[in-house]
Amino acid sequence: MRKSTILLSSLLLVGSLLLTACSNNSNTNNAAATGNSVTATAAADGATGSAASSSPAPVPAGALSEPYTASDLSKLPAAAQKRTDTIIVGLTDPSGAFTPYFQESGYDGNVSSLLYASLVTVDEKGVPIPELAESWEVSEDQLTYTFHLRKDLKFSDGSPLTADDVAFTWTIQYDKAYDGGSSLPTLNVKGGQAYKEGKATTIDGIKVINPQTISVTLEKPNATALVVLGSNVLSKAYYGKDYKFGSLEYIKKLHEKPLGDGPYKLEKFIPGQEVRLVANENYFKGKPKTEHFIYKTSEGDVWQFLETGEVDYASFSATEENIEKLKALGYVNILPYTPSTYGYMQVNLKHEQLKDKLVRQAIMYGLDRQSIYVDAQQGAGSIANIPASPISWAYTEEGINPYKYDPEKAKQLLDEAGWTVGANGIREKDGKPFSIHYLGSKSKNTDIFIAVAKENFAALGIDFQPEVFADFNSLVSKVEGGDYDLVSFSTSMLTDPADGFMQFFDGEITDYENPKFLELYNKALATSDIEERKAVYKELYQLFNDELPILFTSYKKTVYAYNGRIQNLSVSPFIGLAGSLPEWTLK
């Protein structure tokens, strides 16, 4: 029995890893629900390392709203006290595939985000800002992007980084043997398809203008293109040495010997144990302040490592209990954080009863989401009503229906939709009983959901049939087979607001056809003007909030706890540790 419990939970772990697995942009760190992976870091503004105030802020209703500063650094375990030039962070499972665009797990992405810098990065709100590229221009028709690289950029071995490297990086992602998860091939770079089919030896749309300048032309406008194109750069001299069209196998041999241009370079990878990084003296912003950085592989519970001082930084679910326990340690600073993701239930729109908007709205009103996602989680969550995270620049609550728990309203809507209570208390329409077949992955949260939903649905007169999967792959197979009504998912890290609608374009949800949605979605992508986009997204969110092609559930809340000696730890929800890490110092 206990074997199977561990087995199930590890499967679940894997499931959640997959669910959040980062595949398009190695800048994007991954949040796994397990609370022990390093993910995009907390959303505090500015530097928080200075131990200015020692009086803790009061904790409102289970969640920490303000950063909390360590109360007693003398309690710091000796192991952590001894370190002078090394910072250790726990990470679930780096596999050693450290080449961006070629890694399968988001945990490897956490590592490569420190080894490689990007052309363009994003600020705390997800707005693009320059990194390796000093500036860029977008043509009037929104099709051509011209990047101007900084002068004297170098890879960590001292070799120069030029526009040729950028061109090479983009090109190999159009190779027919490319099996990675980058979303660059979906941007439709001009001539990319021809290259992939072997009809051209170069990609037409990519033009190296001079060693510092490169432009790329797309076939149709896409506002996410800037960040996707502006990702990591691979050295052509190193990664392109053995490149022949149609064969990328050789790159696997280079995974464990990455050559990057980021703040750190790889010193040593010990499988299953740790990834040792050392400061890169050729980093364009200057050598990072802390010489050594180590990702320690830590499967499962990370508490013991924080308590013994073996790691300096860890993330936890923001439950009241966790926060109290962390404060009691005395030597950790705590940052509250909401990841850039949202949870939702996918609805089987093929099924007659769920095609009806009124029914979907009835379910939203009839489910006590507050109990399931907030109260039962001890405050480590909040309710979602739109396909965007509250930390996104596009997030809005204007004109958004919060769908407060209201069973009476739900019943009324069901009556309106023609589902009337039958003989045995189950609603019927045309002689068919109303039943909901729900799929979820095995977890404590699913257990809570099922317990509450069972009661809620019974009150509405809906027959509720939950099915729980220990294995994420099996769950997805079942969904692909169409044998479900509702299924719980969570998005992966969203960088651009457009990412929040991903499921409607990647083949997951194919049955929602609404010309208005497509029109607005494309309108938002066709411009790079943030204010203009904001307005369109507001309309889109209102549309989704009313139409409910998916049922919104919740946002997660986590806290980051870190060794109180670390200073200058500021955080951006979109790029993880990579943003501020070069500035970290040990007091």
Partner 1 sequence: MSTYLTKRLLYMLIILFAASLLIFCLYALTPGDFITGNIKLTAERKAELREIYGLNKPVLERYGLWMKNAFHGDFGTSLAQQKPVLQLFGDYIWNSFLLAAVSTFLTWVIAVIVGVVSAYKQYSWFDTLVMVAIFAAMSLPSFFIGLFLIKILAVDLKWLPPGGMITTGSNATGLAYLNEVVRHMTLPVVVMVLLGLGSLTRYFRSNMIDVLQQDYIRTARAKGLKERKVLFTHALRNALLPAITLVGFELPALFGGSLIIEQIFNWPGIGQLYMKSFGLRDYPLLMGFTMFIAILTVIGTLFSDILYRVADPRVRL
| Cβ closest to partner 1, residue 28 vs residue 570 | 28
Q: Which helix (H) or strand (E) holds 228?
A: helix 225-229
For tokens 């004109």, the residue is: 399
What's the min distance (Å) between Cβ of 456 and partner 1? Answer: 27
Q: How far is the CB of 246 from partner 1 (least distance, A)?
A: 11
Residue 238 burial by Cβ neighbours in a 10 Å radius (0-12, 13-18, 19+):
middle
Taking the CA atoms of 103, 109, 111 and 117 in sequence, report the sign of the dihedral they define. positive
- C-beta atoms surrounding 257 within 10 Å: 11
Count Cβ atoms below 10 Å from residue 412 Cβ, excluding itself. Answer: 14
Going through 20-127 in order, the beta strands assigned E by DSSP cover 86-91, 120-122
Quote the least distance from Cβ 191 to partner 1, whole Å. Answer: 19
Phi-psi region of 225 (alpha: psi -120 to 50; beta: other; left: phi over 0): alpha
Minimum Å distance from CB 27 to partner 1? 16
**If we measure between CA atoms, which residue out of 371, 359, 385, 382 comes closest to residue 485?**
359
Q: Residue 503 Cβ, how far from partner 1 at the closest point, in Å? A: 8
Among residues 294, 312, 315, 306, the alpha carbon closest in space to that of 34 is found at 315
Strand-pair category, 292-297 with 86-91: parallel
SS3 160: strand
29 token code pair: 């760190």
Residue 487 Cα distances to 360, 373, 440, 450, 548, angstroms: 14, 16, 6, 12, 14
Q: Are 415 and 462 in contact (CB under 8 A)?
A: no
Please tell me whether residue 529 adopts helix, strand or coil conformation: coil
Q: Which is nearer to partner 1, 409 or 512 (CB)?
A: 512
In this complex, which beta carbon is closest to partner 1, that of residue 272 or of residue 286?
272
Smallest gap from Cβ 17 to partner 1, in A, equals 8
CB nearer to partner 1: pick between 275 and 376: 275
Q: Which is nearer to partner 1, 332 or 452 (CB)?
A: 332
Shortest distance, CB of residue 252 to partner 1, whole angstroms?
A: 5
| First-to-final CA distance of the chain | 47
Question: Least CB distance from residue 512 to partner 1, whole Å?
Answer: 15
Between CA 327 and CA 329 the distance in angstroms is 5
> Within a 10 A sphere around the Cβ of 103, how many other Cβ atoms?
25
From 502, 458, 495, 500, select the one nearest 368 (Cα to Cα). 458
Shortest Å, Cβ 114 to partner 1: 16
Residues near partner 1, by CB under 8 A: 2-3, 6-7, 10-11, 13-15, 18-19, 21, 23-24, 77-78, 83, 86, 88, 93, 95-97, 102-105, 177, 179, 181, 186, 252, 255-256, 270-274, 276, 292, 294, 296-301, 304-305, 307-308, 310-311, 471-474, 476-478, 480, 489, 492, 502-503, 505-508
Give the separation between CA 190 and CA 220, rounded to whole angstroms: 9
Token pair of 259, please? Answer: 């050559």
Nearest approach, Cβ of residue 580 and partner 1 (Å): 21
CB of 446 to partner 1, least distance (A): 16
Query: What tokens does 251 get?
Result: 């790159």
CB of 510 to partner 1, least distance (A): 8
Output 18 or 526, the one with its CB closest to partner 1: 18
Residue 104 or 547 with smaller CB distance to partner 1: 104
The smaller minimum CB distance to partner 1, of residues 387 and 579, is found at 387
Give which of 497, 579, 502, 586 is closest to 110, Cα–Cα. 579
**Could you tell me which residues come within 8 angstroms of residue 179 by beta carbon, excluding any fewer than 6 positions away?**
248
Cβ 24 to partner 1 shortest distance, Å: 8
- Name the 3-class secondary structure at 446: helix
- C-beta closer to partner 1: residue 22 or 166: 22
Select 406 or 471, whichever has its Cβ closest to partner 1: 471
Task: Give just the sign of the alpha carbon dihedral 196, 198, 201, 207.
Answer: negative
- φ, ψ for residue 390, nearest 5 deg: -60, -15
Which of residues 448 and 479 has its CB atom nearest to partner 1 in the complex?
479
Nearer to partner 1, 292 or 409 (CB): 292
Which residue's CB is nearer to partner 1, number 177 or number 209? Answer: 177
Helix (H) or strand (E) segment spanning residue 522: helix 515-525
